[in-house]
Structure 1
Amino acid sequence: MKILFKLRILQSLWIPQSPSRLFHKDNRCLVSPMVSHYESINRCKEELPDYFNFASDILDKWSQLEKDGKRSAIAAFWWINDKGDEVKWSFEELGFLSRKGANVLSDPCGLQKGDRVIVILPRIPEWWILNVACMRTGIVFIPGTSQLTAKDIFYRLQASKAKCIITNDTLAPTVDSVSPDCQFLKTKLIVSECSRDGWLNFKELLKVAPADHNCIKTKSQDPMLIYFTSGSTGPPKMVEHSHSSYGLGFTVSGRYWLNLTPLDIFWNTSDTGWVKSAWSSLFSPWSCGSCVFIHYMPQFEPATVANTLSRYPITTFCTAPTAYCMLVQHGLTSYKFMSLRHCVTGGEPLNPEVMEQWKTQTGLDIYEGYGQTETVTICANVKGMKIKPGSMGKASPPYDVQVVDDWGNILPRGEEGNIAIRIKPTRPFCLFSCYLDNPEKTASTERGNFYITGDRGRMDEEEHFWFVGRADDIINSSGYRIGPFEVESALIEHPAVAESAVVSSPDPIRGEVVKAFVVLAPAFVLHDPAKLALELQEHVKKVTAPYKYPRKVEFVQELPKTVAGKIQRKVLRNKEWGRT
């Protein structure tokens, strides 16, 4: 069913780019009519098309502009590692490889439109090939971080009913340990130089796959992506996005928050398992015809990042606030970033002091943005806008963002409440479709005419938004969102633990870390607390993903509870943060 948008031209909250950014020296426009058309949809000036596919309607259009000489010779994808290896693709080469990848998924993998595929790969070029190949075939792409454990993988395979899993040599043994019990899993595809029993080899199949493939016709509202959240009161939930929500939804933020054009080279450091990688390593830059730059780094190393920004002609850089903190602590005054002109961040609040130090050391501002797995960019500081340190900026089209009370009533300016997006009378096309197989959770996010983000904030008189805190118990450590429920579930499996409560605790580097308050079983009360804390930390690392383990452990006699017996995490969290 066609979704109708208001035809009146909305007054934009965004500051347009200067004309000098929009033209070459020969006055050839940097923004194609194709991109302007999709930006108009974001601004509610045009209707959402009945059918849309990012691969055919965006990527293939850029490929054609390359052939016609209307796009510069800059690469579409540029990948490097510390060993000196390098991969560069034009949009035409990306199309060639992704069509071959689409044929691999269709045959011999035997996958069809609507089938779900879990992809757990580090930052290697095949992740991008497979992403686009899934779009071409209508297969639903489900990313996962490489730190997932056997328990995590099993849960995701069962919950999603995925018919295929794609990973590398590192995680293949883990997958093999759980796959016999996964009744929906039909195919295992490995990205490796070597063969493995029971697995199809993607690299080998890609070499011999035909390059001819007709992109399947997908409706705008057909499912394209599923992301697993970190649950605070239960298992991770599945967030479903359509072909239009991400495929079209990042056009405006790519142009204005990220300030991208076809002349730009954009480096985003996010792990492929996290939603920010889709935001800033795929949809936003490729919507604008920019080059996606990737450095294969198993871990974030400030010296490596600084050297890369100095050595390569990267114009736009995005990393987490924690990473900016690590970079300024490393010291940047001895480096010269000759090409870098625009820096952005998101995922957690940016400390104004870090912003000031970055400005002092590099001469560049950091433009903060705000969004969720369920959304595209909700708010952002954009080029040309006055930056208020600590503010998330203004609302991003097409969202009508307000601060509301618990019943969905708009609150006065300056008053704290729930950050919310208007969904009635028309639900924004770039909002998630639903929490898959969980209608109760989907319904619980609505209050009156609004979708409630779960975050608390306020809006000032100039319509800038200010983040106050999360309404739930999610812990955001170095950009990793960690649900207390998962950590508590791991702790309770240890015989020493009678009860536990997990909350955030302040940390000068990571912003916040996981802290566990533990009530010991009677038989362990007299054990050495330091050794027992270390034992519990190692236990959690083994049972769940390593980044989720409690970096702080405190043994207590009892936990604060309501009269109904529910643990009051808020009491413990307030204690950690020195709040009354």
Structure 2
Amino acid sequence: MIELQLFTTIRDKIDSEDYKDLHNIPLSKPKYFNWVRDVFEPYNVQQLGNQIGLIWRYNNLEEKFTFKELSNLSNQFLNYLRKNGVGEGDKMISQIPLLPCSWISYLASIKGGLIIIPAAVTLEERDLKFRFESAFPKVALADQANAEKIDKAESYFEDKIKIKIISEGTRDGWVSLEDVFVGDTSAEAANTKADDNLFYFFTSGTTGMPKVVVHTHYSYPFGSFTTSSWVGMKKGDVHYNISQPGWAKFFWSSFFAPWNMGATILGFHSDRFVAKDQLQALEDYKVNTFCAPPTALRSLILEDLSQYNFNLRQCVAAGEPLNPEIIEVWKEATGITIRDGYGQTETTASIVNLPNDDVKYGSMGKPTFLYHVVIADDEGNEVSVNEEGNICIKYDENVINGVFKTYLIQLDKMKKVFKHGLYYTGDKAYKDEDGYVWFVGRDDDVIKASDFRVGPFEVESVLLEHNAIVEAAVVASPHTTRSAAVKAFVILSKDYTPSKELAEELFRFSEDNLARYKIPRIIQFVETLPKTISGKIRRVELRANEALAKHNKEELENEFYHSKY
């Protein structure tokens, strides 16, 4: 029960908003740890058993599950796997949308010591084939739309998936989920070690195939307390995070962080994002804490927010530029400041604006209590205040935090990211005199123009403040004398159309709000932007296309140049 006591101590500090004292809690990692056995069952099930742990909504369907019910169903799921020859160390790939069996199967897998491979529903056959080549699963869980993809990917291999479970209906070679939820509702937990592998997260980079990030039975469940503190969760809250179960952030904010705190999770499933439906869900379910990507928030603030009666206490956002307009409109309507934060698939929330901190608009905030973050140069030396450097985390395998264990197959990358006693995140930032961290950009996204370094994040943030712009992506464009010029690809709102006059207006707007060396010298109006399946802009693709176009001296549609190009 030692681990439960530690989790209780941290939970109580977060619940009482005593964030500063979190740094003073003595931490030690146990040899053995199973989050379901050591935390979820003694706390969520035994102490809060009749509390609603999960609310699921889809169209007119609604299901509510108490923590006790979730435990019973997950034990039946685990028992079925074990009866059919699946055990500790085996792998399960899950490619389903936001369904209750996401949470149930993950609880079963953690308790049984399986390794979880989350897969986004947007992944195609070739993506799954790469995953099977990297780590062939013994169990697959899918809905009807994705089961066919898994079957096709499996056909390339001599090995076959032992158990394939379909979430609804029937399919040849697949077991119906309803046939899994039978029998004994109790199961013994695997005695997993704290450092045993739990997650294989496949995360897209700007170049090459996805990296396979390995997290352990301790790194993500315990590390997710930093997310709990960032969001400002409390026991009994209803928490809603807009994220799909195929991504690491789902486990940050839609799994461990709320349940570590004894909060209820809202799983609002929809076939497409409709701002009015999202806002109505916030009202109907009296959501207390809310996390959404800036892209979603931009859509939400276009609605008449005064028509809704919110019960919100805290709102956070991460992933893309959070421009001041979003913050201001949201605060005017709800009275709540959206707070920014930073983390990676390789970590949990490591730099955030805490609920009781003064927020500096545009800053990611300060390091969270589990992470010793420094801004360092390439040799590992901490740089001066307001000097740009690498976002790094001091790394010691004996120190407890949420840093990942290893890359699974790209072991050559380990020496690049772990050096000088630091973990190099691959992102650039600077720290001001008050300790706030300001994001500059990905290391390979930073633009070198006329010997100046320009971070696309800052330029995009300014452009997004203009009413005409819905989305923006800034990259380097080859230039004969500057080495590179700053180019902005922008998507316009429905009330605007591309024109030379609008481009000139945006140039002037940039000049009024940016240092001269940062202003875009080229603006191109586009209908869409290339993105990864997790929704992040693929600047690497934009850069490559731009370089080719300039090399071929192409005249691009709706492209306009600054008078001082």
TM above 0.5: yes
Query: Are 2:224 and 2:256, in contact at CA under 8 Å, matched by a contact in 1?
Result: yes
Amino acid at match of 1:53: N
Aligned CA RMSD, in angstroms, stands at: 3.7
Shift of 1:178: 2.4
What is the Cα deviation at residue 560 of structure 1? Answer: 7.3
Q: In structure 2, how many angstroms separate the alpha carbons of the residues matched to 1:387 and 1:201?
A: 49
Residue 305 of structure 2 corresponds to: 332
In the other structure, the counterpart of 2:32 is: 51
Aligned equivalent of 1:379, options 351, 357, 375: 351
Q: 1:504 to 1:431 in 2, by over 3 A?
A: farther
Instruction: Report the CA distance shift for 1:546/1:218 in structure 2 as closer, same or farther (over 3 A).
Output: closer
In structure 2, relative to structure 1, the CA distance for the partners of 1:45 and 1:508 (3 Å cut) is farther
1:435 pairs with 2:376: no
| 1:183 and 2:158 matched | yes
Runs of at least 5 residues in structure 1 that lack an aligned partner in the other structure: 1-11, 23-30, 32-38, 485-502, 510-532, 562-574
What is the alpha-carbon distance in structure 2 between the residues aligned to residue 119 and residue 458 of structure 1?
A: 38
Cα distance in 1 for partners of 2:254, 2:260 equals 11
Distance 2:325 2:544 in 1: 30
Measured in 2, the distance between the counterparts of 1:133 and 1:579 equals 61
- Native 8 Å contact 2:238 2:285 kept in 1: no
CA contact (8 A) 2:33 2:194 kept: yes
Whether contact under 8 Å (1:391, 1:467) holds in the other structure is: yes
How far the C-alpha of 1:370 sits from its partner, in A, is 0.7
Report how far residue 329 of structure 1 moved.
Answer: 1.4
Alignment-mate amino acid for residue 174 of structure 1: K
Identify the residue that residue 64 of structure 2 maps to in structure 1. Answer: 88
Measured after TM superposition, the shift of residue 429 of structure 1 is 4.0
Task: Name structure 2 gaps, 5 residues minimum.
Answer: 1-9, 447-455, 465-470, 476-486, 494-525, 552-559
Q: Deviations over 1:228-256 (max 9, x none)?
A: 010322111110000100111112431x2
Taking a change above 3 Å as real, the CA distance of residues 175 and 576 of structure 1, as seen in their structure-2 partners, is farther
Q: What's the counterpart of residue 448 of structure 1?
A: 420
Maintained 8 Å contact 1:104/1:202: no
| SS in structure 2 of the partner of residue 391 of structure 1 | coil
Structure 1 residues 343 and 556, CA, compared in 2 at 3 Å: closer, same or farther? Answer: closer
The alpha-carbon deviation at position 17 of structure 1 amounts to 6.0
Whole-Å separation in 1 of the counterparts to 2:124 and 2:36 = 32
Instruction: Give the CA deviation at 1:44.
Output: 5.5
CA 1:421–1:211: 2 relative to 1, 3 Å: same
Residues 1:235 and 2:170 are matched in the alignment: no
CA change 1:253–1:186 in 2 (3 A) is closer
Residue 389 of structure 1 aligns with which residue?
A: 361
Separation (CA, whole Å) in 1 of partners of 2:364 and 2:547: 40
Give matches, 1:6-405, under 5 Å: 45-66=26-47, 71=48, 74-83=51-60, 85-108=61-84, 110-206=85-181, 208-254=182-228, 256-337=229-310, 339-405=311-377
Distance 2:544 2:33 in 1: 52
Q: How many residue pairs align between the two structures?
A: 480
Aligned-pair CA distance for 1:62:
2.0
Deviation, 1:545, is 6.0
Greater relative CO, 1 or 2 (CA 8 Å, sep 6+): 1
For residues 75 and 158 of structure 2, the distance between their equivalents in structure 1, rounded to whole angstroms, comes to: 29
d(CA) in 1 for partners of 2:107, 2:179: 19
Q: 2:500: which partner in 1?
A: none
CA contact (8 A) 1:406 1:447 kept: no
Deviation of 1:344 (Å): 1.1
Q: SS in structure 2 opposite 1:177? A: helix
Change (3 A) 1:249 1:45: same
Cα distance change, pair 321–218 in 1 and its aligned pair in 2 (3 A): same
- 1:439 to 1:447, Cα distance in 2 relative to 1, 3 A: same
Shift of 1:258: 1.5
Q: How far 1:343 moved relative to its partner?
A: 0.7
Change (3 A) 1:375 1:257: same
SS at 1:330 equivalent: coil
Q: 3-state DSSP class of the match of 1:171?
A: helix
Q: Which amino acid aligns with 2:198?
A: M
Q: Could you tell which deviates more after superposition, 126-135 or 160-169? A: 160-169
Q: 1:430 to 1:185 in 2, by over 3 A?
A: farther
CA contact (8 A) 2:144 2:167 kept: yes
**Matched residues in 1 for 2:12 and 2:112: separation?**
38
Inter-partner Cα distance in structure 1 for 2:160 and 2:382? 47
Q: Closer, same or farther in 2 for the Cα pair 1:413/1:215, shift >3 Å? A: same
Change (3 A) 1:237 1:408: same
Q: Confirm or deny: 8 A CA contact 1:506 1:576 kept in the other structure.
A: no
SS of match in other structure, 2:223 = coil
Query: Following the alignment from structure 2 to structure 1, what is the Cα–Cα distance between the partners of residues 422 and 230?
Result: 24
Amino acid in the other structure paired with 1:402: V
Instruction: Find the residue that maps to 1:112 and give its secondary structure.
Output: coil
- Greater mean alpha carbon deviation, residues 373-382 or residues 352-361: 352-361
CA contact (8 A) 2:101 2:167 kept: no
Q: Give the letter for the 2:239 counterpart.
A: F
Deviation at 1:397, TM superposition (A): 1.6
Give the drift of 1:413. Answer: 1.0
Q: Distance in 2 between matches of 1:140 and 1:361?
A: 43
The alpha-carbon distance between structure 1 residues 127 and 181, as it changes in their structure 2 partners (threshold 3 A), is: same
Instruction: Give distance in 1, aligned partners of 2:294 and 2:397.
Output: 36
Alignment-mate amino acid for residue 420 of structure 2 = G
Contact 1:118 1:157 in 2 (8 A): no
Matched, 1:466 2:438: yes
Given that 1:351 and 1:390 are in contact with CA atoms closer than 8 Å, whether structure 2 keeps it comes out as: yes
2: CA distance, partners of 1:559 / 1:242: 45
Return the offset for 1:352.
Answer: 1.8
Shift of 1:298: 2.1
Contact 2:27–2:400 (CA<8 Å) still a contact in 1? Answer: no
| Displacement of 1:556 | 7.2
Q: Distance in 1 between matches of 2:437 and 2:543?
A: 35
Change in 2 beyond 3 A, CA 1:176/1:210: same
Q: 1:363 to 1:578 in 2, by over 3 A?
A: farther
- Normalization by structure 2: what TM-score? 0.77
Structure 1 CA distance, aligned partners of 2:136 and 2:50?
42
User: What is the letter of the counterpart of residue 308 of structure 1?
Assistant: A
Identity of aligned residues (%): 31
How many Å separate the matches in 1 of 2:219 and 2:288? Answer: 27
TM-score, L = length of structure 1: 0.75
Asked whether the equivalents of residues 147 and 166 of structure 2 are also in contact (C-alpha less than 8 Å), the reply is no
SS at match of 2:116: strand
Cα deviation for residue 303 of structure 1 reads: 0.4
Question: Kindly tell me: are residues 508 and 215 of structure 1, through their superposed partners in 2, closer, same or farther at Cα, counting changes over 3 Å?
Answer: farther
How far residue 135 of structure 1 moved from its aligned partner, in angstroms, is 0.5
**Is the 1:191–1:203 Cα contact (8 Å) retained in structure 2?**
no
